[in-house]
Amino acid sequence: MTFKSDYYKVWEEELKEDSAVDEQTANAIAGRLQGYEEAMFGFVMFLLV
Amino acid sequence: MSDAATLAQERTQIINDVLEGRIPKRVPVISALTYEFSVEYAGLDLKTAPWNTANFKTVCDKICQDFYADYFPVIHLRFPALYRTLGAKNWIVGSGGFMQHPEVEGLHVDEYDDLIENPFNCIMEKVLPRLYDNLNADPVTRSMTMAKAFTIFSEEFGTIGAVTAELSAKYGYANANLFTAAPSAPFDFVADQFRGFKNISLDVRRIPDKVEAAVKAVTPLLIKMGMPASEPGPNTGVFMPLHMPPFMRMKDFERLYWPTFSQVVETFAKAGLTVLIFMEQDMMRFLDHFAELPENCVLWFEKGDPKLAKEKVGKKHIITGFYPVTLLHTGTKEQCVDKAKELLDILAPGGRYYFNFDKSPLTLGSANPENIKAVLDYVGHNANY
């Protein structure tokens, strides 16, 4: 299940807005940055339980 | 192989057997003592000790030494440094140092449509600033607060993870992770911190369509919260404490609670997770519903009739709980052990049962530690199949 928000993005969405990044670099970035996106989502949800 | 490693292997096996519906060698003991109880038992001051992450290992080591367990026995979720940094209204440090959860209203009644339209935007823009004073600030202050809070959150869970691994290896606890996340049921999520107990009870009667739409809207967030990033290994679970059903009419429960809750549970089970459901208060009138959930959910009962639970859900799910913490406070050692024997006689036959209390003792004043030790020792050493 997915959801849309101004405050959570999957890397593919962010990549669409940045055409300057080549595929090899994009893969390297995704592995790192998506983890922080997920960690922040988990943190926000923790604040509500 | 060291003694601890051999013990860990045996304990992992019995827990794995129970969670997969097989009869284990003996009844596993999976107690969940709160960090607050543990701090006081270790002789530290609850007003000061939780502020220092270094105390976590000292406190837990003392618990591991003194209380029988097959799985790491301490749970810790409420961090005073985090809630103070955020200026929390939903978690307040009481005069004795215990974290209290007062009634709050993170979402006003005229904001349901915002939550329904985009739940995560609504959380970030409306709910969090209302529950956390220091996020209700200018953008610079807010970003600094969020950065500090996330650092504290990461440090606290980093400490818990490291100490759990170290002490599990030292004491030979099972290789299991039953609490990877604690997503609420969607209705409870809207009730607990968005609308509050009083407001949600009125909303259910006055604007049930809005409540239903809101509960459906937040469901994807709760599924995402509990789903593992990669394929879960054996003995991996998510913890779902249920709050509101005992206070709901059956028709409201069936319309507003059950559909999204069962959807969440089915999604987790399909992903290979064990769903550990804490049945707070008395849930006996909903047993037929729980019997419909995917096989091998863990149902941790607080109150009710253990014989009826065994009969209605005990052949499909795993049962735990029912042991009254109040008896640990008021009873003699002999009475406490006798109660454990009584529950073992009812719940252990056929497997699908592990021992735990009906709830976690919150503080040292809520249960006599000598009684806890006697009961855990008895079950740990005598409940063989």
The mean pLDDT value for A6-10 works out to: 93
Q: Which letter does DSSP use for residue B26 in this model?
A: B
Sign of the four-CA dihedral B223, B224, B227, B230: positive
CB of B309 closer than 8 Å to CB of B346: no
Cross-chain residue pair A1–B224, CB shorter than 8 Å? yes
Torsion of CA A4, A8, A10, A14, to 10 degrees: 100
CB of B11 closer than 8 Å to CB of B229: no
Cross-chain residue pair B121–A5, CB shorter than 8 Å? yes
Cβ-based burial of B265 (10 A; exposed 0-12, middle 13-18, buried ≥19): buried
Structure tokens at A44: 């926000």
Check whether A19 has a pLDDT greater than 90: no
Cross-chain residue pair B118–A44, CB shorter than 8 Å? no
Contacts of A41 in chain B (CB under 8 A): 224-225
Give the contacts of B64 (CB within 8 A, at least 6 positions apart).
B72, B73, B167, B170, B171
Counting residues of chain A whose pLDDT is more than 90, the rounded percentage is 39
SS3 content of chain A, % helix, strand, coil (to 5): 60, 5, 35
Ranges of residues in chain B whose predicted pLDDT is under 50? none
Of A6, A39, A48, the CB nearest to B121: A6
Cross-chain residue pair A5–B124, CB shorter than 8 Å? yes
d(CA B366, CA A31): 46
Q: Is A20 on the interface with B (CB under 8 A)?
A: no
Which of the two residues, B205 and A26, has the higher pLDDT score?
Answer: B205
Q: Is A11 on the interface with B (CB under 8 A)?
A: no
- The per-residue DSSP string of B178-237 comes to S-S--PPPHHHHIIIIII-HHHHHHHHHH-HHHHHHHHHHHHHHHHHHHS-SS---TTBE
d(CA B8, CA B196): 43
Of B121, B132, B183, the CB nearest to A7: B121
Mean model confidence pLDDT for chain A: 89
Query: At CA B302, angle to CA B182 and CA B270, rounded to 5?
Result: 40
Residue B93 phi, psi (nearest 5) = -75, 120
Nearest chain A CA: its distance from B225 CA (Å): 6
Of A3, A38, A47, the CB nearest to B221: A3
- With bands split at pLDDT 50, 70 and 90, how would you rate the model's confidence at A1? low
Q: Is A49 on the interface with B (CB under 8 A)?
A: yes
- Give me the total of CB pairs closer than 8 Å, taking one residue from chain A and one from chain B: 61
Of B189, B224, B267, the CB nearest to A48: B189
Which residue does chain A place closest to B184, by CA atoms? A49
Q: Is A32 on the interface with B (CB under 8 A)?
A: no
d(CA B93, CA B83): 9
Cross-chain residue pair A45–B106, CB shorter than 8 Å? no
Cross-chain residue pair B132–A47, CB shorter than 8 Å? yes
Which residue does chain B place closest to A35, by CA atoms? B229
d(CA B9, CA B346): 28
Structure tokens at B53: 């992450």
Closest CA to B161 of B174, B179, B148: B179
d(CA B32, CA B76): 9
What pLDDT was estimated at residue A23?
85
d(CA A41, CA A20): 27
What pLDDT was estimated at residue B25?
97
Contacts of B123 in chain A (CB under 8 A): 44, 48
d(CA A1, CA B317): 26
Contacts of B154 in chain A (CB under 8 A): 39
Give the contacts of B150 (CB within 8 A, at least 6 positions apart).
A39, A40, A43
d(CA B24, CA B294): 21
Largest CA distance in chain B: 63
